[in-house]
Structure 1
Amino acid sequence: MKVFNFTVKSRGAVAAAVGRDLANIQAAFPALFAKTDKFCFVTDGGAPKSLKVRAMTLFPAKKTEQHRYELPPSEAAKTLEQAGKLCAFLFARGFSRNSLLIAVGGGATTDLTGFAASIYMRGIKWISVPTTFLAQADAGLGGKTAVNLAGAKNIAGTFHQPALAVCDTAFLDSLPHAELRSGAGELVKYAMIGPAALRRTIQRNLAKTLSGDRAALTTCVTACAAFKLRITAKDERDATGLRETLNFGHTAGHAFEALAAGRLAHGAAVARGLRFALLVSARTGRLAPAAFKQLDSLITALRLPPPPAGRWDFRKFMTLVSKDKKARGAQNRFLLITAPGRLTAVENIKSATLKSAFHGALK
């Protein structure tokens, strides 16, 4: 087990434990549980029972009162209504400011649980236990919590760091290939935005992660978690623009995901958002052809399935882009890439350029 400790202004010291076949987290982090009066496991209702059982063995029951709460599957959990229901559940059972929530599941579960923890009694502790490849590499880390509104992702949210993130790659053993490919969409993002050493690590292990190789999955999760937590420690609340680089590909990716209405996995949507960003970068003269070919080959290696059938409306895409929380009042705002590891934010790009990239990303 590797433990990453870092400090953020909002809550001081926080930690992340990353590895395989972890055990007895309470013994490893006794101070976190010393004054906890009760805790609640919050899980995805669609997750296999074996996964939930495995998560609970990480926190062996002693004298602390325990509860369990199931959310609706996946993105259906990320609503203000569901956050309110969870808070009401906690209140009815006497949860206090000394209580603790433990989120077990994918990014939707960690997002909703973290959000509820941030508003219940104006903030209680929570632990993130991401169980999908995508969540372990990205979504379950960093303390951004949110729910969706009016068909747009992550519009109502808070910054509320988990006291601890636990990434046990043993959870990934049973994931189907489609889930691994979805998570690899975020891996490719890190290869594009990160330093050369991280890029080399991902390039060496990308094919193996797609085949479910356990060592490769652990290596990539550890490397990506370390990078994201360093960024978070330096710019927790997107104040300097450094943390915004983690959103590369996500403005278009979130719009693709919304247009697909649940038929396109988040990681696959992000991968197409990355291709969109590469195409815009190249067609505006910011990314050289050789660099475009090098970076686009990472997306090609994912072997993405065709986008779901349906009418992909560019005007609706532009409406979603204009309402994205990162638009900051502009008609459109995208992170573009000029070279591996070098990004720049550009506003109000011509519609014709965006339309060409939109169709190119969906091929």
Structure 2
Amino acid sequence: MIRIPVALGDRSYDVAIAAGGLARAGELLAPYLRGRTIVVTDSDVAATQLPRLACPNIEPIILPAGEATKSWAQLAALCDRLLALEVERGEHIVALGGGVIGDLAGFAAAIVKRGMGFVQIPTTLLAQVDSSVGGKTAINTGAGKNLVGAFHQPAFVLIDPLALDTLPARQLAAGYAEVVKYGLIDDPAFFGWCEAHGAALMAGDADARIHAIATSVSAKARIVAEDERETSGRRALLNLGHTFGHALEAETGFSDRLLHGEAVAAGMALAFAFSASTGRCPGADAARVAAHLRACGLPFDLASAGIDAAGATLAAHMAHDKKKAGGRVPFILARGVGAAYVDSDVTLADIAAFLDAGRG
């Protein structure tokens, strides 16, 4: 078992990576359970992973699967269910599932009884390498993605790589986009590893999966420890591809037409392409990023993401970005592979023009 600490003072916690961890969950989660295990999950995960969760006295709360579950209505239903179970502030709820369940359960834990504990057991690659670590919780609204939420750190994260064995290939590829992100931010050697081993990871290579998960979690833990609430700008680098990607998700109605990881993949390629088109980074680096995403079956531009909206339409989605400050949306751009940075001088008009050129 690999343990990776997330150092946040009195909010510190460990991320444990253990093949077969679901079968050992009762033992590993013992410090957080008080005679029962309240598990928040979705209908898909309930069928594939809940039977493998070896915990005492499981009380399941099963929600609909899909991005649409990150809503006011489902948040209210979850809070009502937790209160009906007479949860106590000292209890921990368990989020078993992907990013949607982790975000929703974490947000409910942040607000029920003015804050209770929760444990993350992510079952998708995307959640294992990204959303389960760092304490960001949220729901989507009509105005955009993740605009209502809270920073609420989990007490513990348990990652079982064997959960990926039942993951559909499309979901696995979408999660892999977040793995690639860590190489593109500040670790060019890891991006090189991805180019060499990404195909093996998606084909089921256990060692490749564990290496990718551990490297990604270690990178995120380091960045979160430096900038927990995105006050210094360091944590903002984790949003590489997300400002573009969230606009693409909004354009597709946050539906299965474009999964979150697929949108992030296209968003990263667009961020590099924009950086190259404005002389910020070498064109060869942008081409390298697009080529790797394409080889992995991920979107790498607007067309491959199934988007034909005008640049102004996509830029209008970006105007609702939660990181907007002083009327400007900061973009995560790149000076090259492994050299991402925050740029607050780009205008939405610049982005709209670039996206229109891409449509042509």
Q: TM-score, normalised by structure 2?
A: 0.91
Pick closer, same or farther for the CA change 1:361–1:145 going to 2, 3 Å.
Answer: farther
Q: How many residues align?
A: 354
8 Å Cα contact 1:38/1:100 also seen in 2:
no
8 Å Cα contact 1:43/1:71 also seen in 2:
yes
8 Å Cα contact 2:310/2:355 also seen in 1:
no
Q: Give the equivalent residue in structure 2 for 1:5.
A: 5
Q: Give the equivalent residue in structure 2 for 1:345.
A: 342
CA distance in 1, matches of 2:244, 2:171: 20
Q: Give the equivalent residue in structure 1 for 2:131.
A: 139
* Structure 1 segment 52-91 matched on structure 2, within 5 A: 52-54=50-52, 56-57=53-54, 59=55, 61=56, 65-91=57-83
**TM-aligned CA deviation for residue 247 of structure 1:** 0.5
**TM-aligned CA deviation for residue 225 of structure 1:** 1.0
**TM-aligned CA deviation for residue 234 of structure 1:** 1.7
CA distance in 1, matches of 2:325, 2:258: 26
SS at 1:24 equivalent: helix
Pick closer, same or farther for the CA change 1:328–1:82 going to 2, 3 Å.
Answer: same
Say which of 154, 157, 167 aligns to 1:165. Answer: 157
* Structure 1 segment 183-262 matched on structure 2, within 5 A: 183-261=175-253, 262=255
Q: Which moved more, 1:232-241 or 1:163-172?
A: 232-241
SS at 1:171 equivalent: helix
CA distance in 2, matches of 1:347, 1:329: 10
Say which of 295, 302, 327 aligns to 1:301. Answer: 295
* Structure 1 segment 35-46 matched on structure 2, within 5 A: 36=34, 38-46=36-44
CA distance in 2, matches of 1:307, 1:200: 23
Which amino acid letter does the alignment assign opposite residue 324 of structure 2? A
CA distance in 2, matches of 1:174, 1:354: 39
Q: Which moved more, 1:210-219 or 1:161-170?
A: 210-219
8 Å Cα contact 2:308/2:359 also seen in 1:
no
8 Å Cα contact 1:42/1:109 also seen in 2:
yes
SS at 1:335 equivalent: strand
SS at 1:181 equivalent: helix
**TM-aligned CA deviation for residue 141 of structure 1:** 1.6
Structure 1, residues 272-329: CA drift from partner, whole Å, max 9, x if none?
Answer: 1011101111122110223333333322322336646564232221111111011224
Structure 1, residues 227-251: CA drift from partner, whole Å, max 9, x if none?
Answer: 1111112211111111111001100
Q: Give the equivalent residue in structure 2 for 1:50.
A: 48
**TM-aligned CA deviation for residue 184 of structure 1:** 1.4
8 Å Cα contact 1:286/1:337 also seen in 2:
yes
- Give the gaps of 5 or more residues in structure 2: none
Q: Which moved more, 1:133-142 or 1:308-317?
A: 308-317
8 Å Cα contact 1:334/1:347 also seen in 2:
yes
SS at 2:332 equivalent: strand
Pick closer, same or farther for the CA change 1:348–1:6 going to 2, 3 Å.
Answer: closer
**TM-aligned CA deviation for residue 190 of structure 1:** 1.3
Q: Which moved more, 1:208-217 or 1:237-246?
A: 208-217
Structure 1, residues 19-45: CA drift from partner, whole Å, max 9, x if none?
Answer: 312242342354334xx3543100012
Q: Give the equivalent residue in structure 2 for 1:20.
A: 19
Q: Which moved more, 1:82-91 or 1:290-299?
A: 290-299
Which amino acid letter does the alignment assign opposite residue 187 of structure 1? V
Say which of 96, 108, 115 aligns to 1:116. Answer: 108
**TM-aligned CA deviation for residue 75 of structure 1:** 1.2
- Give the gaps of 5 or more residues in structure 1: none
CA distance in 2, matches of 1:24, 1:310: 44
* Structure 1 segment 322-333 matched on structure 2, within 5 A: 322-333=319-330
Structure 1, residues 80-117: CA drift from partner, whole Å, max 9, x if none?
Answer: 22222211111122110121110111100000000000
8 Å Cα contact 1:333/1:346 also seen in 2:
yes
| Percentage identity across paired residues of the two chains | 32
SS at 2:175 equivalent: helix
Which amino acid letter does the alignment assign opposite residue 6 of structure 2? F
Pick closer, same or farther for the CA change 1:131–1:360 going to 2, 3 Å.
Answer: farther
Q: TM-score, normalised by structure 1?
A: 0.90
8 Å Cα contact 2:269/2:286 also seen in 1:
no
Which amino acid letter does the alignment assign opposite residue 28 of structure 1? L
CA distance in 1, matches of 2:327, 2:204: 41
Structure 1, residues 39-79: CA drift from partner, whole Å, max 9, x if none?
Answer: 3100012335132212x22x2x1xxx541101121212211
**TM-aligned CA deviation for residue 195 of structure 1:** 2.2
Q: Which moved more, 1:320-329 or 1:103-112?
A: 320-329
8 Å Cα contact 2:311/2:353 also seen in 1:
no
